[in-house]
Amino acid sequence: MKEEPQFELSSNIDHYLAALSKVYAQEGERLKQEIIVNSRVRVQEEWSYDNWNGGTYGHALYLTVPETLYLSIAKKRAEIQNGIKDDLNQVHNVRSEFIEEVFLEMEAVEDTDWRHESGVLQSGERIIAPSSRQRIWGESGYRVFLSHKSEVKEETAELKESLKLFGITSFVAHADIRPTREWQDEIENALGSMDAFVVLLTERFHESDWTDQEVGYALGRGVPLIAVKLGRDPYGFIGKFQALSSDWEKAPVKLVKLLIKEPRMLDAYLQAAAKCKSFDDGNILAKILPAIEGLTAKQVADLVSSFNSNNQLQGSYGFTGKWSSKFGDGLPGHLTRLTGDRYVLTSSDEIQKARKR
């Protein structure tokens, strides 16, 4: 019987990927390094065979990467696949074997309600034009509908302004509906395109028919709903939600700490942090860091880059951790907590990952 060939390259593929990771680190090829470090590896041996000069075998390498990473490279996948293939063939020294193809695949995840999670699902009864959505919410930000009674319109308007710092675009009916537009249509457009719904439960909240209808709309859409207890306990259907006890001053930070678990809110917060304009704003933004439960490799890299390029964040005690007794551990401590790698603040006030000993 013909003896089955024993392939050295496929058997030691992790060794050569580790070497390639070091090459990418030296050359600043961070994206390619992230791909091979975060991938699950599978090799299909004998993808091709050429009997010239005693036989040469080509293998196919499959790299299965997390969904977030895959989506960030999807449009240039072919280019990256070819690049990794060529680089890997330059690194290994196995005779008569080579990597003929590299295939990037997306990691399979459990089924989720991805339509609702997208934040753009439209009900069968109402289609919202992109122009209406942009008019209501602007170009970017996490979209939050603030449901309130008219007698607290000033406090609600101040809450809206405070939430802007964190990357939240809020809808407040009295301030955001133009007199020339049909107000009910505009409210329904906002309800149909919001990312989250916040109920400001003041003492007389239930006396308005409109506020209860807004709550019903939000419950029907299934968006994240937070009831803020500002003098009244939750009632009716919103009674099943635990109320957030707060005063008006503390409400912005408390709300963001809950919403930061939503992927679009986390993205909006990271973008807002990158645009921080003062030390004080940085200290306020830093209050959210302990509530972050996970970051992708790209988000970590973006956050570090934002800090290192923004002197307002670099001067904020909340982000540096230099006054931990008052402002907390700072960004290096939280990156260490979230990634398992140790991050440090250098003497030049930049954050970098510490080298392993």
Q: Which amino acid is at 336?
A: T
Place of tokens 């230099």: 322
Architecture per CATH, 8-106: 2-Layer Sandwich (3.30)
DSSP label of 333: H
Residues of the chain with pLDDT under 70: 1-4, 109-127, 174-181, 206-209, 232-242, 356-357
Separation between Cα atoms, residue 88 and residue 10, nearest integer Å: 12
Q: Which two tokens stand for residue 261?
A: 């678990």
The pLDDT value recorded for residue 68 is 87
Cβ–Cβ under 8 Å, residues 213 and 221 = no
The pLDDT value recorded for residue 232 is 67
In this structure, is the dihedral angle defined by the CA atoms of residues 350, 351, 352 and 355, taken in order, positive or negative? positive
Does the global pTM surpass 0.75? no
Q: Which two tokens stand for residue 295?
A: 């970051």
H or E element: which one contains 244? strand 244-245
Q: Which two tokens stand for residue 92?
A: 């290994």
The pLDDT value recorded for residue 108 is 77
At 288, is the secondary structure helix, strand, or coil?
Answer: coil
DSSP label of 329: S
The pLDDT value recorded for residue 148 is 85
The pLDDT value recorded for residue 138 is 87
Cβ–Cβ under 8 Å, residues 151 and 211 = no
Cβ–Cβ under 8 Å, residues 104 and 63 = yes
At 77, is the secondary structure helix, strand, or coil?
Answer: helix
Q: How many residues does the chain have?
A: 357
Q: What is the pLDDT of residues 227-268, one digit of tens each?
A: 898 876 666 666 666 678 889 999 999 999 999 999 999 999
User: In the chain, which residues fall in CATH 3.30.300?
Assistant: 8-106
Cβ–Cβ under 8 Å, residues 335 and 304 = yes
User: In the chain, which residues fall in CATH 3.40.50.10140?
Assistant: 115-259
Classify domain 115-259 at the CATH topology level.
Rossmann fold (3.40.50)
Cβ–Cβ under 8 Å, residues 232 and 206 = yes
The pLDDT value recorded for residue 206 is 62
Q: Which two tokens stand for residue 44?
A: 């299909």
Q: What is the pLDDT of residues 3-43, one digit of tens each?
A: 567 889 989 999 999 999 999 999 999 999 999 999 999 99
Averaged pLDDT score across all residues of the chain = 87
